[in-house]
């Protein structure tokens, strides 16, 4: 039984990668298995993907590249990930649509809010690529924006750790995991949940964020079922 009827899942680009490849067929297949499982529960799923496993615009900009050009390259990287995830979901028999904020009609539909909602109502997984289609905005902000536009009840942010900690758990074995946080604490303490623009959007509109470990099989189902995994920001 799901606690939600429509959700927005935010996947970082790094989620797609392993030590041997920037896009791991095994990892993408596992992600698709989880998405299909949740879709078959009747939950409507939108997905916003990052592109950091291929190229990160902010990093390119730091090396001297024009920020707008670097961010547009990063947008293209997100579409590559979106197409990989679409292929894996459809190989498992679940209809999927990729919508891009940057026009590329041979590869993806243009992002149209009403069309995205109609796809969701028909049980299709909708994967949003190219961020917001504008430089200087992260895919975190795109996730918050798309979630609000499609009427999602929560953002589920899949990461490689099982929630939000007060320190890096890989470096500090005594790091404490938060079960619940409020938006203001996240902003004031600079906790790495989502960027400040995304957190502010969620705060202004009362949209909760669930941060959880994406790579443990079954965790997406557990999260949308309302099981107490990860950290809830509300």
E strands of the chain, at which residues? Answer: 6-11, 44-49, 96-100, 109-110, 125-129, 155-159, 164-165, 177-178, 180-181, 209-213, 231-233
Paired residues of 11 in beta bridges: 49, 158
**Domains of the chain by range and CATH?**
6-233 (3.40.1160.10)
What DSSP designation does 175 have?
Answer: P
pLDDT tens, position by position, 41-58: 999 999 999 999 998 777
Per cent of the chain over pLDDT 70 is: 100
The arithmetic mean of pLDDT across residues 61-70, rounded, is 88
The arithmetic mean of pLDDT across residues 2-13, rounded, is 93
* pLDDT (0 to 100) of residue 57: 76
* pLDDT (0 to 100) of residue 55: 83
- What is the rounded average pLDDT for all residues in the chain? 93
pLDDT at 159 over 90: no
* pLDDT (0 to 100) of residue 153: 97
Q: What is the pTM of this model?
A: 0.94
The arithmetic mean of pLDDT across residues 70-77, rounded, is 94
* pLDDT (0 to 100) of residue 215: 80
- 79 with 108: CB under 8 angstroms? yes
| Helix residue spans in 10-167 (DSSP H) | 25-39, 57-62, 67-91, 113-121, 139-150
> CA 199, 205, 206, 209 torsion: positive or negative?
negative
* pLDDT (0 to 100) of residue 170: 78
The rounded distance, in Å, linking the Cα atoms of 96 and 181 is 33
Which tops the pLDDT comparison, 173 or 182?
182
pLDDT at 76 over 90: yes
* pLDDT (0 to 100) of residue 42: 96
95: left (phi > 0), else alpha (psi -120 to 50), else beta? beta
pLDDT tens, position by position, 94-147: 999 999 999 999 999 999 999 999 999 999 999 999 999 999 999 999 999 999
pLDDT at 61 over 90: no
SS3 40: coil
């Amino acid at each position: 039984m799901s606690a939600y009827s429509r959700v927005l899942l935010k996947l970082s680009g790094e989620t797609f990668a392993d030590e041997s490849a920037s896009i791991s067929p095994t990892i993408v297949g596992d992600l698709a298995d989880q998405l299909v499982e949740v879709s078959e529960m009747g939950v409507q799923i939108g997905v916003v993907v990052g592109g950091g496993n291929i190229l990160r615009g902010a990093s390119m900009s730091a090396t001297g590249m024009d920020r707008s050009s670097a961010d547009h390259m990063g947008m293209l990287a997100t579409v590559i990930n979106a197409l990989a995830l679409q292929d894996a979901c459809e190989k498992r028999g679940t209809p999927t649509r990729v919508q891009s904020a940057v026009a590329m009609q041979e590869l993806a539909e243009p992002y149209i809010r009403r069309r995205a909602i109609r796809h969701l109502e028909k049980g299709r997984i909708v994967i949003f690529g190219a961020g917001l289609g504008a430089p200087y905005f992260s895919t975190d902000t795109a996730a918050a924006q798309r979630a609000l536009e499609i009427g999602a009840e929560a953002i589920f942010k899949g990461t490689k750790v099982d929630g939000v900690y007060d320190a890096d758990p890989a470096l500090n074995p005594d790091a404490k995991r938060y079960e619940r946080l409020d938006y203001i604490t996240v902003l004031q303490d600079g906790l790495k949940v989502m960027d400040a623009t995304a957190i502010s959007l969620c705060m202004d509109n009362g949209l909760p964020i669930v941060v959880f470990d994406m790579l443990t099989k079954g965790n997406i189902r557990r999260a949308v079922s309302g099981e107490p995994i990860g950290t809830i920001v509300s």
